[in-house]
């Protein structure tokens, strides 16, 4: 191994393999930064770390005579090794030779030279590293926090100071003071805390020497998914729940600090305020989104289209300003659809991924947040058993927990079964409706003059039947799109007199 210093501590480490192992002659040209090769067979735990298939037989221990900030590039020459280059081989770094709570990094493979390069790796004193075959989990996932020791560490560089938006789907499992997202040290003299208090209200703390606090008016219920958003701009903090404005308060910006952002916990050297519950679809923006933008994206994942933020389900932006959001304004996007080893993949261009701490595979589950709402059986719209995961979600287009006199009017709903909306002579609003080979019946009576309105503000994909009984109507305002590939029909009761000249 050779270490070549340049630009201070930045170095290139060349690691050469023999035919079966990673033993090699080591030549050090750095006096402050040393690496020692160890035989892992005597010290490594027999139990492999979570989401690791195999760790190679040797590892290296890093030592610094004095702690310095800097990065190294690691170049592994695999030309003489038995490593299968087609497998998911990654660098793993840990505080211990058992590689518990390891960090893992994908490398850049040069197939011609048979080298694997890992760039800009921050190695600290007494850390160990090796190569491993890493498992990758793909699919629509959520992550469960146990309220004891699980959390996700993000990069230190996220700016939660001047203008930002943080949003996530959360389901709380316990009433206690706990963090959803925090960027503050244990002294708590600078930074931000977004979490819940002991009664289930959303709690914000912006700190710059002194603490400024904001508490939501609304209490989040236990074991129910709700989307929360925190928006900060021009000295005002705003809390929204399911896209509905809860409160707004004038508050000074939080102080800048150099600590990591944590999801599901707070602190730096000593971590506390562990979250108990589940999270999904976590987004951090470096701009302040308005309520319309938050509502449009709430029930769908987001994708990049021509450099702009778009919805994965409905891409119609005619009735909103969402087409004006550049993808580069998205600082972090954790859909939880891709987990590689202990790395929670950030789908934004930032590429600053999260590190999972103490999450076994049993803490990762199939998504149950309504992304979007989906039916699971025939039934009544207002019956929880009609909906997938109905006991842990609110009914779509139901009364807001922020204001029970107002219905949430921007849900995205997918109908795969025969569903009936009972007549109550009122209007139900949706952002998007997708009907797949099934019937949606909106009840009403011509004789009684009853019915209801169903308004679709953005997008309708109709591959089934909408049956409008009585006075019921389907409303699509200007700009709302009927997907041209739709193959379904709309049935509507007609009223009129039996002659050739008058009609209604």
Residue 48: is its pLDDT beyond 90? no
Class of domain 141-366: mainly beta
pLDDT grade for 123, boundaries at 50, 70 and 90: confident
In angstroms, the CA 171 to CA 276 distance is: 9
CATH 3.40.1000 correct for 2-134: no
Which of the two residues, 446 and 381, has the higher pLDDT score?
A: 381
Q: What are the start and end residues of each CATH 2.60.120.200 domain in the chain?
A: 141-366
Residue 422, both tokens: 């009972």
Q: What is the pLDDT of residue 14?
A: 44
In angstroms, the CA 437 to CA 433 distance is: 13
Query: What's the rounded mean pLDDT across residues 288-306?
Result: 94
Residue 348, both tokens: 């934004």
Q: What is the pLDDT of residue 94?
A: 92
In angstroms, the CA 70 to CA 458 distance is: 49
Cis amide bond preceding 372, omega within 30: yes
Q: What is the pLDDT of residue 335?
A: 96
Which of the two residues, 406 and 186, has the higher pLDDT score?
A: 406
Which of the two residues, 421 and 317, has the higher pLDDT score?
A: 421
pLDDT in tens, 359-410: 999 999 999 999 999 999 999 999 999 999 999 999 999 999 999 999 999 9
Lowest mean pLDDT among 53-67, 251-265, 414-428, 490-504: 490-504
Instruction: Name residue 169's beta-bridge partners.
Output: 227, 280
Calculate the average pLDDT of the chain. 85
Strands (E), 264-329: 266-267, 271-272, 276-285, 302-305, 308-311
Lowest mean pLDDT among 26-35, 304-313, 409-418, 490-499: 26-35
Residue 43: is its pLDDT beyond 70? no
pLDDT grade for 351, boundaries at 50, 70 and 90: confident
162 neighbors 231 (Cβ within 8 angstroms): no
Q: What are the start and end residues of each CATH 2.60.40 domain in the chain?
A: 2-134
In angstroms, the CA 298 to CA 393 distance is: 14
Residue 504: is its pLDDT beyond 50? no
């Amino acid at each position: 191994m050779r270490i070549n210093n340049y630009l201070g501590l930045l170095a290139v480490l060349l690691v050469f393999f023999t035919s079966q192992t990673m033993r090699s002659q080591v030549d050090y040209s750095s006096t402050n930064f040393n690496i020692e090769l160890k035989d892992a067979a005597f010290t490594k735990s027999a139990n492999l770390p979570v989401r690791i298939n195999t760790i190679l037989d040797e590892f290296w221990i890093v030592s610094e005579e004095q702690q310095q900030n800097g990065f190294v590039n690691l170049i592994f020459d695999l030309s003489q090794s038995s490593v299968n280059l087609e497998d998911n081989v990654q660098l793993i770094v840990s505080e211990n030779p058992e590689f518990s709570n390891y960090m893992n990094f994908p490398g850049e493979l040069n197939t011609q030279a048979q080298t694997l390069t890992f760039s800009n790796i921050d190695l600290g004193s007494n850390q160990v590293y090796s190569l491993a075959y890493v498992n990758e989990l793909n699919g629509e996932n959520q992550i469960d926090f146990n309220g004891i020791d699980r959390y996700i560490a993000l990069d230190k560089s996220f700016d939660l100071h001047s203008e930002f938006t943080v949003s996530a789907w959360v389901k709380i499992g316990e009433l206690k003071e706990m963090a959803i997202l925090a960027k503050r040290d244990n002294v708590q003299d600078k930074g931000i805390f977004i979490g819940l208090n002991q009664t289930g209200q959303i709690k914000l703390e912006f700190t710059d020497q002194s603490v400024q606090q904001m508490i939501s008016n609304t209490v989040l219920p236990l074991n129910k998914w709700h989307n929360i958003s925190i928006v900060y701009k021009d000295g005002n903090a705003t809390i929204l729940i399911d896209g509905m404005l809860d409160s707004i308060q004038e508050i000074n910006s939080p102080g800048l600090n150099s600590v990591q952002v944590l999801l599901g916990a707070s602190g730096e050297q000593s971590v506390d305020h562990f979250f108990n519950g589940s999270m999904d679809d976590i987004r951090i923006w470096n701009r302040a989104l308005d309520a319309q933008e938050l509502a449009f994206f709430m029930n769908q994942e987001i994708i990049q289209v021509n450099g702009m933020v778009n919805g994965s389900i409905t891409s119609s932006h005619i009735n909103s300003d969402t087409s004006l959001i550049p993808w580069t304004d998205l600082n972090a996007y954790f859909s939880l659809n891709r987990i590689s080893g202990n790395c929670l993949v950030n789908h934004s261009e930032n590429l600053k991924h999260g590190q999972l701490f103490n999450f076994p595979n049993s803490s990762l589950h199939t998504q149950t947040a309504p992304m979007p709402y989906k039916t699971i059986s025939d039934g009544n719209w207002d019956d929880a058993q009609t909906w997938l995961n109905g006991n842990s979600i609110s009914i779509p287009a139901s009364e807001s927990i922020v204001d029970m006199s107002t219905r949430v009017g921007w849900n995205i709903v997918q109908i795969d079964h025969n569903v009936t909306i009972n007549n109550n002579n009122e209007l139900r609003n949706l952002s998007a409706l997708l009907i797949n080979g099934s019937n949606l019946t909106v009840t009403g009576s011509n004789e009684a003059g009853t019915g209801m309105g169903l308004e679709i503000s953005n997008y309708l994909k109709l591959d089934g039947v909408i049956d409008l009984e009585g006075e019921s109507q389907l409303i699509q305002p200007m700009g709302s799109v009927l997907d041209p590939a739709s193959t379904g029909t709309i049935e509507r009761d007609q009223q009129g007199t039996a002659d050739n000249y008058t009609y209604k």
